[in-house]
Amino acid sequence: MSSQHKLWSLVVIAGLFFSACSMPARFKPKNTATTPDGNPSLNGTPGKKHTKIEVFSWWVGGGEAAGLNAMIKVFKAEYPDIDFENAAVAGGAGTNARAVLASRLQAGDPPDSWQGHAGQELIGTYVKANQLESLNFLYAQEKWLDVMPKALIPLISKDGQIYSVPVNIHRANVLWYNPKILAANHLTVPTTLDEFLADLEVLKSTNTIPLALGEQWTAMHLFETVLLATLGPETYSGLWTGKADWSSPEVRKALENYQRVLQYTNSDSSTLSWQDAAQLVVDGDAAFYIMGDWTEAYYKELGKKPHADYGWAAVPGTKGVFQFLSDSFVLPVGAPNREGAIDWLKLAGSKEGQDAFNPVKGSIPVRSDTNRSLYDEYLQSAMDDWAKDILVGSLYHGVVANDSWKTEINTDLGIFLGDRDIDRFQAALVAACKSVGTCS
């Protein structure tokens, strides 16, 4: 276990455990449903009304919907009395969905549950706005504290209350590559940023796109990995807590590296989804792509084969560091079908639900007791890395910054993609940290 694992797990977990144990059991499990005459129903749920739950996410596109559908299938088999409304809104990384969700919450019209990210997106956005119910009662009832990673609990908790049910762990800092293109150009998989830049330079004079890139959020995804590769895990993490200095020469160096890497990307990036950009690699049009490990689910869906059509490595300069994010489902205050939403959360946190979802979604389960043999070679390697690597959180995918901070950085980065002015970008990043109150 890494020192960071230990660090995160201390203190909070103990408090959480005790508060979870003392929570009243507000949840009525499905097997205690009553018959019309008020007696508990032990087989099935004859007394239960036919109801509907609406679950919100952005898992529509290639490689994403399949994972959700696998979990919905288990849900429908287990809860035949509940109609499942899949309210997914298309758009990678939730770019569109998050906006739709925000206006629904504004209008007092929450879905029964939605998929968000563990970390500041959850705590610094929805919990801060009192939009979520505490789930301590469910953690106590389902004994989830025994099987969920201790490092994750503080990221989904505030003041001893736990606010979401994580269904997976994804890795952000993955370099995908086309092995045939590397071999044809006598290149090996780069392990440092300098090696990476040297490879990109070689590829520049070929017909191949050196580094695939998609729409703006994928550029921000690339940005956070280059920040990590340049600064290392400690300084990278310090940027989000006020311990590291956004105006430092090291951050400037990271921005220079980012600028250099961007020079090797396709000029039509803004018109491509993350899947389109991923496809350039397996179609033989691009050599490299930096993207989260949902990419592998997409490659498999396209029928592509590991090692032959694609390979993977940690983003150069980040070996031994796992930049993670965690998709997690929540219980909104005012969920129209609260009881049905709790049934969905129970499935999301269960071994059965996680083992149905993750092998297809291209992520690893959060629970420690799942069936490793269901996971492919890439995912087993991710499980091993998650257990031994230094953990740092993703920026775009909600772990380290709340929505306001992330939005400011995204705006500044959008301007940078146009003007490529490093001084202006760095000054804007310094200002963003101050405006959210993390830097003085």
Rg for the chain (alpha carbons), in Å?
22
Binding region for ligand GAL (CB under 6 A) out of 92-100, 125-133, 404-412, 416-424: 92-100
Q: Could you say whether residue 317 binds ligand GAL (CB under 6 A)?
A: no
**Out of 20, 87, 93, 140, which residue is the one contacting ligand GAL (CB under 6 A)?**
93
Binding region for ligand GAL (CB under 6 A) out of 30-38, 58-66, 143-151, 201-209: 58-66
Residue 310 beta carbon to ligand GAL: minimum distance, rounded to whole angstroms: 17
Binding region for ligand GAL (CB under 6 A) out of 35-43, 87-95, 253-261, 307-315: 87-95
Q: Could you say whether residue 397 binds ligand GAL (CB under 6 A)?
A: yes
Write the burial class of residue 50 (CB in 10 Å: 0-12 exposed, 13-18 middle, 19+ buried).
Answer: exposed
**Out of 121, 293, 327, 343, which residue is the one contacting ligand GAL (CB under 6 A)?**
327
Residue 289 beta carbon to ligand GAL: minimum distance, rounded to whole angstroms: 13
Residue of 263, 293, 295, 261 whose CA lies nearest to 276 = 295
Residue 330 beta carbon to ligand GAL: minimum distance, rounded to whole angstroms: 14
Residue 30 beta carbon to ligand GAL: minimum distance, rounded to whole angstroms: 28
Q: Which 207-246 positions form the footprint of ligand GAL (CB under 6 A)?
A: none
**Out of 227, 261, 315, 325, which residue is the one contacting ligand GAL (CB under 6 A)?**
325
Binding region for ligand GAL (CB under 6 A) out of 91-99, 384-392, 415-423, 426-434: 91-99
Q: Which 102-121 positions form the footprint of ligand GAL (CB under 6 A)?
A: 117
The string over 90-122, giving b where at least 16 C-beta atoms fall within 10 Å of a residue's C-beta and e elsewhere, is ebbbbbebbebbeebbeeeebbbbbbbbbbbbb
> 101 or 181, CB closer to ligand GAL?
101
Give the contact letters, 354-393, x = binds to ligand GAL (CB under 6 A), - = no: ----------------------------------------
Q: Could you say whether residue 170 binds ligand GAL (CB under 6 A)?
A: yes
Q: Could you say whether residue 296 binds ligand GAL (CB under 6 A)?
A: no
> 181 or 297, CB closer to ligand GAL?
297
**Out of 62, 94, 353, 393, which residue is the one contacting ligand GAL (CB under 6 A)?**
94
Residue 406 beta carbon to ligand GAL: minimum distance, rounded to whole angstroms: 11
Residue 93 beta carbon to ligand GAL: minimum distance, rounded to whole angstroms: 4
**Residues forming the site for ligand GAL (CB under 6 A):** 58-59, 64, 92-94, 117, 170, 274, 292, 294, 325, 327, 397
